[in-house]
Amino acid sequence: MRKVKPVRKLGRTAAHRKATLSNLSTQLLVYKRIETTEAKAKETRRVVEKIITKARKGTVHAQREIFKDIRDKQAIRTLFEEIVAKVGTRNGGYTRVIKLAPRFGDAAKMAVIELVDYTESPSKHQKTGKQDRAKRVKGSKKTSTAPASASTASAE
């Protein structure tokens, strides 16, 4: 019986999904840490782990295979010169996904995906609580009452 390998479709066609994951992978290799939705982060992790494993071979063939997916010379140069040097002894697990608070606009689950050996402190990106409504809403009572009470105090 045929067993289907589970994959997140991300609400995109196959070509759009491939392009999205390629772009996210490129940005992760260049910036070492990106913030995106949780589903995209988990799918990007699958792609990047395979790319770094290929890059550890260090052959020209590996470079050409990776260039099919990445298509960014700066990212590939960074991958082969910096990243492979740092993760050369590691047996997988090159990335880390840290969950964040939901996005305000649509309450999408957010996450940070980062390369493990490039992090300063993992506790820096812990889950944050909800943002204070007074800071989000422009005409909030909390923000509008503070200047009004200050002006009445100065009038006396």
What tokens were used for 56? 């550890």
- CATH number for the domain that contains residue 109: 3.90.1030.10
What is the SS3 assignment for 77? helix
Q: Does 146 fall in a domain?
A: no
Domain that holds residue 110: 14-128
Question: What pLDDT sits at residue 140?
Answer: 55
CA–CA distance, 59 with 69 (Å, rounded to integer): 16
Q: Does 155 fall in a domain?
A: no
Question: What pLDDT sits at residue 7?
Answer: 86
Q: Does 47 fall in a domain?
A: yes
The answer to whether the beta carbons of residues 48 and 25 sit under 8 Å apart is: yes
Q: Does 156 fall in a domain?
A: no
**Number of domains the chain contains:** 1
Q: Of 34, 74, 75, 36, whose CA–CA distance to 52 is shortest?
A: 75
Q: Does 149 fall in a domain?
A: no
Q: Does 90 fall in a domain?
A: yes
Question: What pLDDT sits at residue 153?
Answer: 52
In order along the chain (156 residues), what is the average pLDDT of each group of 10 residues? 88 94 95 95 95 93 94 93 89 94 94 88 54 60 54 51
CA–CA distance, 136 with 144 (Å, rounded to integer): 13
Q: Does 122 fall in a domain?
A: yes
Question: What pLDDT sits at residue 148?
Answer: 53
The reported pTM is 0.73
Q: Of 97, 105, 96, 104, whose CA–CA distance to 129 is shortest?
A: 104
Question: What pLDDT sits at residue 122?
Answer: 47
